Amino acid sequence: MVKHILVPLDGSNLAESALPAAAYLAEKLHARVTLLHVIEENAPKEIHGERHLTNPEEALSYLKGLAGSHFQSGIKVETHVHKEEVQNVAKSIVSHSQDEFAPDLIVLSAHGHGGLRDIFMGNIAQQVLSAGQIPVLLLDVPESGCRECFEVKTILLPLDGNPQHEQAFSSGQQLAEACQAGVILLVVIPTLTSLKGEKAATGIFLPGAVNIALEQAEEEAGSYVAEHMQLLDKAGVNATSVIVRGDPAGQIAEAAQAANVDLIILGTHKKSGSDAFWSASVASKVSSLSQKPILFVPV
């Protein structure tokens, strides 16, 4: 269960778009919050078109102001400025997460969509996820422009039959209970044309056998989903289920948009190397296809 939320901030309005989600979850989960600012070495004068905070005293005053304006009085909010200048902000956040704060959740703004989003994720979220077992909630600035609009009423929870990903299901159940949210369980069975890597090669040479295997997987998915529906029902969570065929990332993004969900929860694997996590990853593809908030749960 989430009891401590870490929110890294760089002084920009874009980064502050993570605050409503942190405040909402802190209230629902009865969690404390730490607002963090890292002083960057040779920092640019502006970041995201706004003045960059490089003075520790000014940064601390900034964080304290946000603590007072975004969080209810009953929520414990701490502020911390890493005064020693660092070259790599992402690594500093990882270090603070592992050695000092030990949060249960890190909330980050994606700082835009497309190229900027990909760059930000590569530098921050990827390193955090690759370095440890801390879930990361990644948010886009809402299309509506309403930066205070964050509420979890419906959660999309994709399942793939991998026992290692049950941690994501557990996180989704706990969050649904705390927020009194509904859950949509989604299982995507690939088609012959949407297979990747070695499976795609096998499908080219043995299309008949692969099609039979995929049809069998679709049949087995029914009982698999039913088991998870029962678990949610016992927990008092209202849930529905959908089994579809196609490309996993595309189907997840389409389902999230069609149901207008408030949150997608994805299980992700800790891997080494700067590019390993996002390489051919369903999680990264979903993020590029959808602007819905995504909770990445390391497994």
Q: What is the 3-state secondary structure (H, E, C) of the chain?
A: CCCEEEEECCCCHHHHCCHHHHHHHHHHHCCEEEEEEEEECCCCCEECCEECCCCHHHHHHHHHHHHHHHCCCCCCEEEEEEEEEECCHHHHHHHHHHHHHCCCEEEEECCCCCHHHHHHHHHHHHHHHHHCCCCEEEECCCCCCCCCCCCCCEEEEEECCCHHHHHHHHHHHHHHHHHCCEEEEEEEECCHHHCCHHHHHHHHHCHHHHHHHHHHHHHHHHHHHHHHHHHHHHCCCCEEEEEEECCHHHHHHHHHHHCCCCEEEEEECCCCCCCCCCCCCHHHHHHHHCCCCEEEEEC
Q: What is the pLDDT of residue 34?
A: 96
For residue 144, is pLDDT > 90? Answer: no
2-16, 226-240, 264-278: which is most confident: 226-240
114-131 tens-digit pLDDT: 444 444 444 566 666 666
Q: Which residue has the higher pLDDT, 147 or 184?
A: 184
Q: What is the pLDDT of residue 289?
A: 86
Q: What is the pLDDT of residue 260?
A: 95
User: Positive or negative, the Cα torsion across 90, 75, 133, 197?
Assistant: negative
- Give the span between the Cα atoms of 44 and 13, in whole angstroms: 16
159-209 tens-digit pLDDT: 887 777 788 999 999 999 999 999 999 998 876 665 565 665 455 555 666
Q: What is the mean pLDDT of residues 104-113?
A: 77
Cα distances (angstroms) measured from residue 148 to each of 18, 73, 101, 190, 283: 9, 17, 26, 37, 26
pTM reported for the whole predicted model: 0.85
Q: What is the pLDDT of residue 38?
A: 86
Domains and CATH numbers, the chain: 4-139 (3.40.50.620), 154-291 (3.40.50.12370)
Contacts with 53 (C-beta within 8 Å, 6 or more apart), sequence order: 10, 11, 37, 39, 59, 62
For residue 143, is pLDDT > 60? Answer: no
Determine which of 33-37, 97-101, 232-236, 273-277 has the lowest per-residue pLDDT on average. 273-277
Q: What is the mean pLDDT of residues 16-32?
A: 94
Q: What is the pLDDT of residue 117?
A: 46
Please report, as a single letter, which amino acid is at residue 60. Answer: L
